[in-house]
C-alpha cells in the first residue's frame, strides 16, 4: 500500500472522530486520515492504445452539479442521446448542489464509494486530483485521438493537471457581456463598451435610481467570487504563472478600487448587491432593473426567453482592462472516479459527451459552447449573430487558472474581502492586500 | 437475594444463578452499551481531539503530523476565529433572550381557556415542525429586498427593509437570521413553559386571588419562581443548540455578507471542506466543544443525572 494511502479502518476512526466532535461541536469536520493526494506519475504508461478502451455495459453512476432548469433540460438532451447510442448502459444521474460538491466528493473519496463518472471544473481540478478521487485518463485519452484532434486546445489543457489528463471537456464557459440594446439606444450610446473605463462610464450614464434602474447587475453575493481573479487579471495579466503568484499588489489595488467603486462611488449597481447571486442578477437584468450583465454563454437561452436578441438585448465581449480582458474561458468536463466499478461504462459516457453530437445538443438547449471545434463552425453558432462575441471571446479571453486552493481562495478570501470593502467595513486597499497576501500563501510564493 | 448453601445443595445450578445477582453481572450487561459508546463516541472523540493537535491539510498529501499546540496558538490569534466567536456569542445570547420571551408569551396565551385554543396551539407549534431547509429558503425569499412579501408589507407601514435589504447588509444580516431562528425555535420554549405552568396547582392562583394579587403579581411571585427549573433546563439545551447548529446560517447567508454571519461551527466547516484544513478545523471544533461542555455540565448537574432520588 502506498505510504500516503489510508486503510478504511483509519478513515473510519478519524472521520468518526471529528464527526463525533462535530455532533457536539458543530459540523466542523469529518476529518480523514488519508491524504489521498498522490502526485500524478511523471511518465505516461506505455499501454497499447487499442486494448485500453473496451465497450462498457451495466450501470454507470454520474454526479453533476446542474441545478438550473435550463441546464437540466440541456442535460436531458445529452442523456437521451446517450441512451439511444449506448442501450447497454444504464446511466443513473445524481445532481448535487454546487456548495455541497466538495463535501460530498471528499466523503466519497475517503469512503471509496463514489460514482463512476463525475463532473470536473477547471477551477477545482487540482483540488480534486490532489484529494485523490480522480483517475488519470492519460492512457485512455492517448487511445482516443478525438480528444486532441477534435477539441479546442485550451479546453483539453484545462482538464489536465501536471501534464496528465484527468477529464474530457464537454463544454466551455466563455465569459461575455449582455447589454440592453434598447436602453443604450435611448441614452445615445452607440456600441458596447470595449474597455473597463468605457464600461464604467456607460454604467453611470445608464443609472437612474429614481426610475429604479442601474447600469450593471454586479454579482456581489453567492457566486460573485469569480470576478476577483477576472478583474485582477485584467489589471495585472496572469496572476499565477507556473503555480506561483505573479500578481502585483498595486494592480490588485487598482482592480479592487474599480470593482468596489462601482458600488460605493459610482453607485451603478442595485443597493442589494451584496446579496445578489445568480437568480437576482438574472431577474434584475431580465426585468430591466439593470442594463448590463457579465456572465457566460450558458445563460444565452435563458436570457433569450425573456428578451429579444438584436432588439432588446445584445451580447459583447467582456471589456478590456489595462492588460487583458476581464473575461475568461474555462472548460468543464467529466472524469472517472478512482476505484469506479464500471470505468469502461463511465468512459463511454464521458467520450459521448466529449464529442460533437452531444455538445451540439447541449448548446442548442442552453447556450453553453461545446469544446469540440466543429461546434464553433456549426450553423447553430454561425447562424446566430449574437454568438459572434463568444467566438471572439474564445480568442481573446484568457484561460482559467487551475492551481490547488484556487476555489477556496476565491470563495473564502476574494468574496468576503470585496464585500467588506463594498459594505464600508474596510478600504479597497485593505481588501486588495488581504487577497494578494492570501494568494501568495496559497501558491507558496515567497 | 443471595442464594443460600441449602439452595445450592438443592439446585446444583444455583451457584451459576448467583452470578446473575452480583455487580459483575451488571458490568457484563453493560458491555454492549459500553462497546457501542466507545466505538461511536469515545474513540472518534479521541481521534478528533488528537487531530486538533495535528497539521493535516488534504491538499498537502501528507498524513496528519503532530504539531503540539500550534493550532491552538493560531486559533487564539486568528482574526476569523475572533470574529466568529463574537458573532456566535451575539447569536446565542440574543437568540436565547428573544426565544424565552416569545416562548413565555405564547405559553401564557395557550393557558387561556377557549373553545378554539387548539387552533392557536397548532399555529404556534407549526414552525417547530418545519424542516430547517424549508424555513430557511421560505424566509430568505419572503424577506428578499426586491420581491419579499414582508418587505412589501412592512413598507406599507413605514418600515423600509428594501433597497440594500437584510441579506445584503453586513450590519443587519445576522439579525435577519436571528429573527428566523426565533420564529423557528420559540415553540421549544413554549412547550417547556406550558408544561411547567400546567404543573402549577390551580389552588395557588385561587389563594393569591383571595389575597388580592393581580395577574401580574401572581405571575411575578408565583408562576415565575416555580418555572425557574424549567426555564433553566430549556435555556441550557437551547444554548447548546444555538452554539452548535449553523444550519440556518449556512442555508440563508453562507456566513456572509462580509463574514458578518460567520458562526464558529460554520467556520470550522469551511476550514474543513473548502480549505481542506482538517487539523485546524478540528481545533475550532474542539474549542466549540469545550464551550458546549460547560453548558452540558451545568445541564447534567441541574437535572441530577446519576444522583439517587
Picking from B230, B291, B287, the residue whose alpha carbon sits closest to that of residue B73 is B287
Average pLDDT (A87-116) is 94
Q: Please check whether residue A170 is in contact with residue A371, taking contact to mean a CB–CB distance below 8 angstroms.
A: yes
Residue A5 is predicted with a pLDDT of 39
Picking from A259, A163, A267, the residue whose alpha carbon sits closest to that of residue A219 is A259
Residue of B nearest to A39 (CA): B61
Average pLDDT (A51-72) is 89
On average, the pLDDT of chain A sits at 90
> Rounded CA gap, B8 and B18, in Å?
10
Q: Please check whether residue A176 is in contact with residue A327, taking contact to mean a CB–CB distance below 8 angstroms.
A: yes
Residue of A nearest to B258 (CA): A416
For B33-61, the pLDDT digits (tens) are 999 999 999 999 999 999 999 999 999 88
Task: Tell me if chain B has a CB within 8 Å of the CB of A185.
Answer: no
Task: Tell me if chain A has a CB within 8 Å of the CB of B294.
Answer: no
Residue A188 is predicted with a pLDDT of 96
Please state the domain count of chain B. Answer: 2
Task: Tell me if chain A has a CB within 8 Å of the CB of B187.
Answer: no
Task: Tell me if chain A has a CB within 8 Å of the CB of B168.
Answer: yes
Q: Please check whether residue A165 is in contact with residue A147, taking contact to mean a CB–CB distance below 8 angstroms.
A: yes
**pLDDT band at residue B10 using 50, 70 and 90 as cut-offs:** low
| Cβ–Cβ gap B167/A275 under 8 Å | yes
User: A429: Cβ–Cβ under 8 A, 6 or more apart, which residues?
Assistant: A253, A256, A257
Residue B15's domain comprises: 1-41
Chain B residues lying within 8 Å of A1, measured CB to CB: none
> Rounded CA gap, B190 and B108, in Å?
9
Task: Quote the Cα angle for A187-A188-A194, to 5°.
Answer: 100
- Residues forming beta bridges with residue A180, ordered by sequence position: A313
B134 and B14: one domain? no
Helix (H) or strand (E) holding A178: strand A168-180
Task: Tell me if chain A has a CB within 8 Å of the CB of B61.
Answer: yes
- Residue A185: strand, helix, or coil: helix
Residue B64 lies in a domain: no
Distance from CA of B278 to the nearest CA of A (A): 5
Average pLDDT (A404-409) is 96
pLDDT at A141 over 50: yes
> Which among B255, B265, B274 has the least Cβ separation from residue A25?
B265
The residues in A 193-252 lying below 8 A from B, measured between CB atoms, are 220-222
DSSP label at residue B41? I
Q: Which of A43-47, A138-142, A161-165 shows the lowest mean pLDDT across its residues?
A: A43-47
Query: Three-state SS string across B273-296, please?
Result: HCCCEHHHHHHHHHHHHHHHHHHH
Task: Tell me if chain B has a CB within 8 Å of the CB of A17.
Answer: yes
CB neighbour class for A319 (10 Å; exposed up to 12, middle 13-18, buried from 19): buried
> Which among B44, B268, B271 has the least Cβ separation from residue A17?
B44
Do the two domains A55-173+329-399 and A175-327+402-443 of this chain adopt the same fold?
A: yes
Rg (CA), chain A: 22
Task: Tell me if chain B has a CB within 8 Å of the CB of A130.
Answer: yes
Helix (H) or strand (E) holding A137: none
CB neighbour class for B231 (10 Å; exposed up to 12, middle 13-18, buried from 19): middle
For B239-280, the pLDDT digits (tens) are 999 998 889 999 999 999 999 999 999 999 999 999 999 999
| Cβ–Cβ gap B246/A26 under 8 Å | yes
- Residues forming beta bridges with residue A399, ordered by sequence position: A329
User: Which one of B285, B288, B294 would you mutate to disrupt binding with A, by most A Cβ within 10 Å of its Cβ?
Assistant: B285
DSSP states of A308-329: -BTTTEEEEPPPB-SSSBS-EE
| Cβ–Cβ gap A30/B272 under 8 Å | yes
User: Which one of B85, B163, B168 would you mutate to disrupt binding with A, by most A Cβ within 10 Å of its Cβ?
Assistant: B168
Residue B27 is predicted with a pLDDT of 87
Q: Which of A42-51, A65-74, A396-405 shows the lowest mean pLDDT across its residues?
A: A42-51
B36 and B170: one domain? no
Q: Which residue has the higher pLDDT, B279 or B112?
A: B279
Task: Tell me if chain A has a CB within 8 Å of the CB of B264.
Answer: yes
Buried b (16+ CB within 10 A) or exposed e, A77-105: bbbebbeeebeebebebeebeebebbbbb
> Rounded CA gap, A164 and A42, in Å?
8
B106 and B218: one domain? yes
| Cβ–Cβ gap B164/A415 under 8 Å | no
Distance from CA of A19 to the nearest CA of B (A): 7
A–B: how many Cβ contacts below 8 A?
Answer: 223
| Helix %, strand %, coil % of chain B (to 5) | 70, 0, 25
> Which among A25, A106, A412 has the least Cβ separation from residue B285?
A25
Chain A residues lying within 8 Å of B254, measured CB to CB: 99, 222
Residue B208 lies in a domain: yes
> Rounded CA gap, A38 and A44, in Å?
15
Residue A179 is predicted with a pLDDT of 98
Residue of B nearest to A209 (CA): B163
CB neighbour class for A435 (10 Å; exposed up to 12, middle 13-18, buried from 19): buried
**pLDDT band at residue A41 using 50, 70 and 90 as cut-offs:** very low
Residue B113 lies in a domain: yes
Rg (CA), chain B: 26
Domain A55-173+329-399 indexed as CATH 3.40.190.10 = yes
Average pLDDT (A240-268) is 97
Number of H helices, E strands in chain B: 16, 2
> Rounded CA gap, A121 and A296, in Å?
15
Residue A329: Cβ within 10 Å count:
25
CATH of domain A175-327+402-443: 3.40.190.10
| Cβ–Cβ gap A274/B164 under 8 Å | yes
Chain B residues lying within 8 Å of A28, measured CB to CB: 265, 268-269, 271-272, 281-282, 284-285, 288
Helix (H) or strand (E) holding A89: strand A89-95
| Global ipTM | 0.84
Q: Please check whether residue A79 is in contact with residue A102, taking contact to mean a CB–CB distance below 8 angstroms.
A: no
State percent of chain A over pLDDT 90.
85
What's CA A21's distance to the chain center, in Å?
33
| Cβ–Cβ gap A26/B164 under 8 Å | no
Q: Please check whether residue B156 is in contact with residue A263, taking contact to mean a CB–CB distance below 8 angstroms.
A: no
Helix (H) or strand (E) holding A168: strand A168-180
> Rounded CA gap, A318 and A226, in Å?
14
> Rounded CA gap, A352 and A88, in Å?
14
Q: Which of A22-31, A200-209, B13-22, B116-125 shows the lowest mean pLDDT across its residues?
A: A22-31
B24 and B171: one domain? no
For chain A, what are the domain ranges?
A: 55-173+329-399, 175-327+402-443
Helix (H) or strand (E) holding B109: helix B79-110
Picking from B95, B89, B116, the residue whose alpha carbon sits closest to that of residue B186 is B95
Residue B108 is predicted with a pLDDT of 93
B83 and B29: one domain? no
Picking from A124, A28, A12, the residue whose alpha carbon sits closest to that of residue B84 is A28
B16 and B108: one domain? no
Chain A residues lying within 8 Å of B286, measured CB to CB: 21, 25
Amino acid at each position: 500500500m502506498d505510504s500516503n494511502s489510508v486503510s478504511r479502518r483509519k478513515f473510519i476512526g478519524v472521520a468518526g472522530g471529528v464527526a463525533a466532535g462535530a455532533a457536539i461541536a458543530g459540523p466542523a469536520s469529518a476529518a480523514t486520515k488519508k491524504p489521498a493526494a498522490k502526485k500524478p506519475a511523471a511518465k505516461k504508461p506505455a499501454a497499447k492504445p487499442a486494448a485500453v478502451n473496451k465497450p462498457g455495459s451495466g450501470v454507470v453512476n454520474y454526479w453533476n452539479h446542474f441545478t438550473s432548469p435550463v441546464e437540466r433540460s440541456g442535460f436531458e438532451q445529452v442523456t437521451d442521446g446517450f441512451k439511444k447510442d449506448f442501450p447497454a448502459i444504464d446511466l443513473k444521474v445524481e445532481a448535487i448542489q454546487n456548495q455541497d460538491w466538495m463535501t460530498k466528493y471528499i466523503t466519497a473519496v475517503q469512503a471509496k464509494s463514489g460514482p463512476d463518472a463525475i463532473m470536473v471544473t477547471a477551477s477545482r481540478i487540482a483540488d480534486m486530483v490532489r484529494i485523490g478521487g480522480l483517475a488519470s485518463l492519460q492512457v485512455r485519452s492517448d487511445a482516443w485521438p478525438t480528444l486532441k484532434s477534435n477539441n479546442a486546445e485550451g479546453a483539453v489543457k484545462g482538464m489536465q493537471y501536471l501534464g496528465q489528463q484527468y477529464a474530457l471537456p464537454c463544454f466551455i464557459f466563455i465569459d461575455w457581456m449582455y447589454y440592453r440594446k434598447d436602453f443604450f439606444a435611448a441614452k445615445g450610446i452607440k456600441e458596447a463598451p470595449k474597455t473597463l473605463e468605457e464600461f464604467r462610464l456607460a454604467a453611470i450614464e445608464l443609472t437612474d435610481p429614481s426610475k429604479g434602474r442601474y447600469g450593471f447587475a454586479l454579482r456581489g453575493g453567492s457566486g460573485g467570487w469569480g470576478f476577483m481573479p477576472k478583474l485582477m487579471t485584467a489589471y495585472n495579466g496572469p496572476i499565477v504563472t507556473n503555480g506561483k503568484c505573479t500578481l502585483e499588489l498595486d494592480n490588485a489595488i487598482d482592480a479592487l478600487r474599480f470593482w468596489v467603486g462601482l458600488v460605493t462611488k459610482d453607485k451603478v449597481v442595485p443597493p442589494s448587491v451584496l446579496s445578489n447571486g445568480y437568480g437576482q442578477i438574472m431577474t434584475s437584468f431580465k426585468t430591466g432593473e439593470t442594463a448590463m450583465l457579465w456572465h457566460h454563454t450558458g445563460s444565452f437561452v435563458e436570457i433569450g426567453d425573456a428578451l429579444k436578441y438584436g432588439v432588446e438585448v445584445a451580447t459583447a465581449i467582456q471589456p478590456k482592462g489595462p492588460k487583458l480582458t476581464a473575461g475568461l474561458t474555462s472548460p468543464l468536463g467529466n472524469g472517472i472516479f478512482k476505484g469506479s466499478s464500471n470505468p469502461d461504462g463511465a468512459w463511454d459516457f464521458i467520450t459521448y459527451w466529449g464529442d460533437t453530437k452531444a455538445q451540439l445538443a447541449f448548446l442548442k438547449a442552453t447556450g453553453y459552447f461545446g469544446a469540440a471545434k466543429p461546434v464553433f463552425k456549426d450553423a447553430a453558432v454561425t447562424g446566430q449573430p449574437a454568438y459572434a462575441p463568444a467566438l471572439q471571446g474564445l480568442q481573446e479571453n484568457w484561460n482559467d487558472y487551475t492551481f490547488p486552493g484556487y476555489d477556496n481562495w476565491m470563495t473564502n478570501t476574494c468574496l468576503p474581502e470585496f464585500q467588506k470593502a463594498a459594505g464600508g467595513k474596510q478600504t479597497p486597499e485593505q481588501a486588495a492586500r488581504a487577497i494578494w497576501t492570501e494568494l501568495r500563501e496559497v501558491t507558496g510564493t515567497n | 437475594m443471595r442464594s443460600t448453601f441449602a439452595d445450592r445443595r438443592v439446585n446444583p445450578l444455583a451457584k451459576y444463578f448467583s452470578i446473575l445477582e452480583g455487580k459483575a453481572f451488571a458490568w457484563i450487561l453493560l458491555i454492549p452499551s459500553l462497546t457501542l459508546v466507545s466505538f461511536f463516541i469515545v474513540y472518534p472523540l479521541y481521534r478528533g481531539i488528537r487531530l486538533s493537535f495535528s497539521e493535516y491539510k488534504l491538499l498537502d498529501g501528507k498524513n496528519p503530523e503532530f504539531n503540539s499546540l500550534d493550532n491552538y496558538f493560531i486559533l487564539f490569534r486568528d482574526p476569523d476565529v475572533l470574529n466568529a466567536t463574537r458573532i456566535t456569542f451575539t447569536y446565542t445570547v440574543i437568540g436565547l433572550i428573544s426565544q424565552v420571551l416569545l416562548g413565555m408569551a405564547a405559553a401564557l396565551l395557550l393557558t387561556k381557556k377557549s373553545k378554539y385554543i387548539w387552533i392557536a396551539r397548532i399555529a404556534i407549534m407549526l414552525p417547530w415542525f418545519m424542516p430547517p431547509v424549508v424555513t430557511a429558503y421560505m424566509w430568505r425569499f419572503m424577506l428578499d429586498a426586491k420581491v419579499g412579501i414582508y418587505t412589501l408589507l412592512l413598507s406599507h407601514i413605514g418600515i423600509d427593509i428594501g433597497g440594500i435589504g437584510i441579506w445584503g447588509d453586513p450590519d443587519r444580516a445576522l439579525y435577519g437570521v436571528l429573527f428566523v431562528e426565533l420564529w423557528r425555535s420559540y415553540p421549544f420554549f413554549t412547550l417547556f413553559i406550558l408544561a411547567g405552568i400546567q404543573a402549577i396547582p390551580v389552588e395557588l392562583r385561587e389563594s393569591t386571588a383571595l389575597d388580592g394579587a393581580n395577574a401580574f403579581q401572581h405571575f411575578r411571585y408565583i408562576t415565575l419562581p416555580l418555572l425557574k427549573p424549567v426555564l433553566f433546563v430549556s435555556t441550557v439545551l437551547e444554548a447548546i443548540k444555538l452554539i452548535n447548529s449553523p444550519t440556518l446560517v449556512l442555508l440563508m447567508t453562507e456566513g456572509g455578507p462580509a463574514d458578518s454571519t460567520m458562526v464558529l461551527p460554520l467556520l470550522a466547516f469551511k476550514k474543513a471542506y473548502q480549505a481542506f484544513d482538517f487539523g485546524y478545523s478540528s481545533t475550532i471544533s474542539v474549542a466549540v466543544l469545550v464551550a458546549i461542555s460547560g453548558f452540558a455540565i451545568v445541564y447534567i448537574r441541574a437535572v441530577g443525572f446519576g444522583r439517587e432520588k
